[in-house]
Structure 1
């Protein structure tokens, strides 16, 4: 089964406690921590803490009884496919609309904006079907589609005295089990844009992981510089 960011974080917490208690040497801690953040399945996570006690009094095991995966592109894609659609279209005339947060997009979603605009955010959305078509039509207006970097997206549209396309983003790396979304339609004297972007929560998780790796590297350099800890002279080792 695919592992989520929350599960990787629980494994990292066990590893941090283990190195603080002297159960792991710093080099082994770094190797396991790196493997934890690169793990994609439960089978890769479990061996990393099999010989260690749970963090604190108890840690939720890596298995079917764990809490649900977080929303955003970090969520398990198969869990987000299926179920009835909560919205199959949107309309804006001299105004605007938005579809974002927790919602289920229909297998065919049609959006129209005239002298107005609309926002379609798929980063935390569920999908009625694995294959989804989003039809965007705008006249002297604008439509903006936001998707997570891991989503499989194909953009096919026509801009007449306007624009229709996907912005470049180096993060784009579609996941094989993610839904496929095709964005089509036309923009007349207006624009339709597709942007790949992570949620704030996911960006914070990635920043936290980077900070932890940096702290671990700094601690390894400090211990390698000599002193009682480097010599293995007992006592509790604290992460910086």
Structure 2
């Protein structure tokens, strides 16, 4: 009797990539995508990864046998649209802070469904354009006390801002690189919700195109 083989993170990532493909082609709605992504990351054995893909692909096993195409020299990989950023991975960074100094979260990093950023007489930068998101809706709690917090989000996500400024500012703006109007963002796109307070400080949320400086 053959023993069951345990799944690796690479196996799970390939399964999630396949789900992303199915989602982008309209085979799944957001609720189904989120549910199946969580199911994949909770799997223990390789054979369990086939069930979430069974009604999406004629032969789900091929998902794990095909290799990701190599990037041609001189050609950088394309940045992923916002729905591909939602990986459903567990864990992630849930806290960033700066006290009389600075800190940043940029590039490819895993953001927890709830992330708190605190700046006291210092500054923090949270860039979500290339981040992996643990959930379709991400909550950012931003507290700036005589300091500043700069948050950068991709232009193709929904933004909900519930923050307040007390002798300070808490606002959302568009960078000159933005080409997508907020009203044109797809209804099923990820949601970034901002909460918190700026006390004699500032919290700035900027929509910016991926790759823009």
TM-score (normalised: structure 2): 0.59
Distance across 2 between alignment mates of 1:76 and 1:184: 21
Gaps of 5+ in 2: 1-21, 26-65, 72-76
The residue that corresponds to 1:149 in the other structure is 155
Identify, as 1 or 2, the structure richer in helix: 1
Distance across 2 between alignment mates of 1:83 and 1:179: 15
The residue that corresponds to 2:91 in the other structure is 85
Q: 1:95 aligns with which of 87, 96, 101?
A: 101
Question: Is the 8 Å Cα contact of residues 71 and 124 (structure 1) preserved in structure 2?
Answer: no
CA 1:68–1:166 in 2, change beyond 3 Å: closer, same or farther? farther
The residue that corresponds to 1:193 in the other structure is 204
Distance across 1 between alignment mates of 2:70 and 2:194: 30
Distance across 1 between alignment mates of 2:207 and 2:161: 12
**How many residues matched?**
141
CA 1:68–1:180 in 2, change beyond 3 Å: closer, same or farther? farther
Distance across 2 between alignment mates of 1:177 and 1:92: 34
Gaps of 5+ in 1: 4-63, 204-240
Tell me how large the CA RMSD over aligned residues is: 2.6
The residue that corresponds to 1:164 in the other structure is 170
**What displacement does 1:177 show?**
3.5
Specify the SS of the correspondent of 2:95. Answer: strand
CA 1:102–1:71 in 2, change beyond 3 Å: closer, same or farther? farther
The residue that corresponds to 1:212 in the other structure is none
**What displacement does 1:190 show?**
0.5
Identify, as 1 or 2, the structure richer in strand: 2
Distance across 2 between alignment mates of 1:181 and 1:68: 32
CA 1:67–1:155 in 2, change beyond 3 Å: closer, same or farther? farther
CA 1:68–1:96 in 2, change beyond 3 Å: closer, same or farther? farther
CA 1:192–1:177 in 2, change beyond 3 Å: closer, same or farther? same
Whose radius of gyration is greater, 1 or 2?
1
Distance across 2 between alignment mates of 1:136 and 1:147: 14
